[in-house]
Amino acid sequence: MTPVYTVEALATGEGRNGHVATNDGHVDLDVRVPEAMGGSGGAANPEALFAAGYAACFHSALLAAARMQKVKVEDTSVGSRVHFLRNDAGGFELAVELEVIVPNLPADQAQQLADAAHTLCPYSNATRGNIDVKVTVSDD
């Protein structure tokens, strides 16, 4: 496949306590281990960046699914929670919860849009079969 878009990022410093920047300059920030994991906190971390990226990507996929199904939606949102977990092998894994809100749409139709978004979203496709992703449709 031919890439539609490519972005480059460079991490420097001491791993999770360092700096990340993209070649386009839109991301340029320090990263720190969160306090909850024994770090100093006070900066972004890889899981926060992943949560933000996944929420934005899934929201875009949700809106694309609505357009494809010719469903008018307004004031939609997608929230994400990324969990950092210790696995049985002594390493770490991620798990994701996505909360989809589609106001003024019957629950079954909102769920259909969320399911369609889950098949369209590049983050969902990249993580499918690799990490647990739970998609929940809520009223608000």
pLDDT, position 15: 84
Q: What pTM was estimated for this model as a whole?
A: 0.94
| Over residues 61-80, mean pLDDT | 97
pLDDT, position 6: 96
Asked if the model's pLDDT at residue 45 lies above 90, the reply is yes
**What are the tokens at 113?**
């849009």
pLDDT, position 72: 96
Q: Please report, for residues 18, 49, 65, 99, 104, the alpha-carbon distance to residue 72 in angstroms, rounded to integers and kept in the order given.
A: 43, 30, 11, 19, 10
- Torsion angle in degrees (nearest 10) through CA of 98, 122, 19, 93: 60
Q: What is the DSSP letter of 9?
A: E
| Over residues 106-113, mean pLDDT | 96
Asked if the model's pLDDT at residue 103 lies above 80, the reply is yes
Say how many C-beta atoms besides its own lie within 10 A of residue 123's C-beta. Answer: 20
CATH 3.30.300.20-classified regions of the chain? 46-138
- List strands edge to edge, sheet with 9-14: 9-14, 17-22, 28-31
For 117-140, how does the pLDDT look when each residue is reduced to its tens digit (9 = 90+)? 999 999 999 999 999 999 999 987
Q: Please check whether residue 77 is in contact with residue 140, taking contact to mean a CB–CB distance below 8 angstroms.
A: no
Say how many C-beta atoms besides its own lie within 10 A of residue 98's C-beta. Answer: 26
Give the CATH number of domain 1-44: 2.20.25.10
**What are the tokens at 43?**
């900066």
CATH 2.20.25.10-classified regions of the chain? 1-44
pLDDT, position 118: 98
Cα–Cα distance between 72 and 66 in angstroms, integer?
Answer: 7
| Over residues 12-24, mean pLDDT | 95
Looking at domain 46-138, its CATH class is: alpha beta
